[in-house]
Amino acid sequence: MTRTPRAQVLIDLAQRHLDAAAETAQHSSPDQIPGAAFAGQIRLAAAALPTIDEAVADGPPLPAADVATHLRDALTALDQIAPFDGPPDLPLCAWHVHELFRIATRTGAA
């Protein structure tokens, strides 16, 4: 599977946003069980994205934001990757993030 350097940078950015969304979901939910469950779903989507090595690339700190904003920003990063520049399952990964974003905006996830 060949990825361009730009695609990998965008995948890493999406993963950083997904990690931030999961942390926010887990720690800001008034009820721990739904917050932890939603955070788990976000982490599952992040795990589906390919990385070059285990650690997500360092970058400037992400601004503090709510879950939906981090999910939207992750989706924006994934949508900037041309179809043949990313992994073959990129559309499926982006769809998962889109569904998580939809859930977060409909439920008012913090």
Half-sphere exposure (Cβ direction) of 87: Cα atoms closer than 13 Å: 16
Q: How far is the C-alpha of 18 from the C-alpha of 77, rounded, in Å?
A: 11
Q: Contact, 48 vs 89, CB < 8 A?
A: yes
pLDDT value of residue 42: 97
**Amino acid occupying residue 11:** I
Q: How far is the C-alpha of 80 from the C-alpha of 74, rounded, in Å?
A: 10
Q: What is the pLDDT of residues 67-87, one digit of tens each?
A: 999 999 999 999 999 988 988
Q: What is the mean pLDDT of each run of 10 residues along the chain (110 residues)?
A: 82 95 88 86 93 62 93 97 90 96 84
Of 51, 48, 40, 47, nearest to 10 by C-alpha is 51
Q: Strand, coil or helix: what is 94?
A: helix
According to DSSP, residue 52 is labeled: S
The predicted model scores a pTM of 0.88
